[in-house]
Amino acid sequence: MNVLLDILGATIVGGIVFTLFLNLNMYSSQARYSSNTELQLMQNAKTLAEMLTYDLRKIGYNHKGESLITTQNRRISFYADIDTNGVDDVVGYALSSASEVPQTSNPNDKILLRVVNGDTAKGPSLGITDLRFNYLNAKQQPTAVLDSIKYIKAEIWVQSPEPVNEKYIFTYWEMTINPRNL
């Protein structure tokens, strides 16, 4: 009878230890997936910020006259000689609609549209869900007067393309750019 109780006790303890190892393994896998997703989000936000920064710093480059064309909250367009060929280019940024990104399960992600001289370049979504521009004067106060804009503050929201623990994780990137030619 004692042998039977010893076997039953060892089986219960072994089952508990086995269950703990399974839970630890599942938690470790989930934490690794979540961490990798967050790292990918930060890399995507950095890529989007570098694209915007590259062009926004060139606002007015080799252009005579007013450089800014459109200064809306979610859209910007301007003159600049982007390809340094001596000809003014019209460059603009906006977001696509969410319906243009059907390959992910996130209903909010969009594509950052870069329009140069009427040609729209659609890149990958990279999880961008929102883009906002704020226009600031020399004292970094908000302004709507085109010739007093000296700084452009861009804000980018990026979400994961797939849910993590049934939620879309997100990151936010903000930058203030001072184009030299404004």
- Kindly give the confidence (pLDDT) of every residue in the chain, 182 residues in length, as a single tens digit, with 9 standing for 90 and above: 788 888 888 899 889 988 998 888 888 878 887 888 888 999 999 999 999 999 999 999 999 989 999 999 999 999 999 988 989 999 999 999 988 888 889 999 999 999 999 998 877 788 999 999 999 999 999 999 999 999 999 999 999 988 988 899 999 999 999 999 98
Nearest CA to 71 among 139, 146, 20, 121?
Answer: 146
Domain extent for 67:
3-177
Report residue 135 CA to chain centroid gap.
Answer: 20
Q: Is 38 within 8 Å of 51 (Cβ atoms)?
A: no
Q: Which of 63, 126, 48, 135 shows the shortest CA–CA distance to 93?
A: 48
Instruction: Please check whether residue 133 lies inside any domain of the structure.
Output: yes
Give pTM, 2 decimals.
0.81
Cβ–Cβ under 8 Å, residues 114 and 126: no
CA distance 21 to 166: 24
Q: How many domains does the chain have?
A: 1
Question: Is residue 42 included in any domain, yes or no?
Answer: yes
pLDDT, tens only, 151-167: 999 999 999 988 988 89
In a domain, 182, yes or no: no
pLDDT value at residue 51: 92
31 domain-assigned = yes
